[in-house]
Structure 1
């Protein structure tokens, strides 16, 4: 489990094609303190540490993960928002994040809002029911608050968030631009509520 509070921005130093895709990520983490088998969220995707060395961690990325995450994310030189798994007793500074990407959204526009940036995203119809104003959403691993949601006739939706200067400085979200794809994880509570409502409807 994670909180969506980014603690390092790493960079993919090397990509190796094996049975799966192995990515080696440069990081400022003290890797001697990270066990093999530990979980690290990489731009919202929970991955397992399979190898490590001073200032680098290696992860195996399955074809399923690649197909469900933002296009081009697993390429050399790509910056990644990193977060180590939450420990029991840690402060829950963001919201509960599982590291399981629910879909990919596209940036529509980025506008200045004071010192912050206001960013609008388009999400597919299957994610639209899970977004609500003042609800939580994870964008490339970053816990954010939804400011507004607009539904389109085709079932898709757009939603807007604000990125404050601190978040711009410590994550990759400062580089968002129209057309860019990002990983989206919906609020886990919304996911369970929707499932409960589905079974209630079947019982009627």
Structure 2
């Protein structure tokens, strides 16, 4: 369980495809504060650590994870957003993020707006009743508020701090991001449909 408040970014150090899986090695920004089998959100994807060695750590992404996330496009030296699992005795500053990606979305527009940025996305799969203005959404693991939604495109405002402290400042139109819709909305809709 995560909150969508990114702790830092790190660089992809090595990629190794084995059959249908992808082994990913990252530079370790957490020093001694992580352990084998710990879950960390990488661009919003919950992945478990399988190895820690020489200032790096590794995770594995299965075929299914590669199919529905932006890990398929990952390259060495790409910057990835990181968040360790939330502690139960701390504030939930973002919203509840599971690390289970619903779909990917393409950046269709980036506009600078009076010191902030407006990012617009068109997702591969949009659940209209889950994308609501002022609602929460996770984009590359970042807890964000939907500013506008129209014609299958949703927009979010990015403040300078979030822009600088996440991998959004590396992104350009045409890039893909991971999207996780609000879990509370999903449960409400499921129960209303019965």
For the criterion TM > 0.5, the same-fold answer is yes
Structure 1 runs of 4+ with >6 Å offset: none
User: In the alignment, is residue 195 of structure 1 matched against residue 193 of structure 2?
Assistant: no
| Count of aligned residue pairs for this structure pair | 193
Which residue of the partner structure matches residue 129 of structure 1?
129
* Secondary structure at the counterpart of residue 147 of structure 1: strand
RMSD: 1.4
C-alpha deviation, 1:94, in angstroms: 0.6
Which residue of the partner structure matches residue 100 of structure 1?
100
TM-score, normalized by length of structure 2?
Answer: 0.94
User: In the alignment, is residue 159 of structure 1 matched against residue 167 of structure 2?
Assistant: no
Moved more, 46-55 or 179-188: 46-55
* Secondary structure at the counterpart of residue 189 of structure 1: helix
CA displacement 1:99-142 (0-9 Å, x = unmatched): 00000111111111111001111124543321101000000010
Which residue of the partner structure matches residue 24 of structure 1?
25
User: In the alignment, is residue 179 of structure 1 matched against residue 180 of structure 2?
Assistant: no
C-alpha deviation, 1:54, in angstroms: 4.4
Mapped partners of 2:54, 2:138: distance in 1: 29
C-alpha contact 1:103 1:127 (8 A) present in aligned 2: no
Pairwise mapping of residues 65-144 of structure 1 onto structure 2 (< 5 A)?
A: 65-70=65-70, 72-144=72-144
C-alpha deviation, 1:81, in angstroms: 0.1
Which residue of the partner structure matches residue 9 of structure 1?
9
Which residue of the partner structure matches residue 44 of structure 1?
44
TM-score, normalized by length of structure 1?
Answer: 0.90
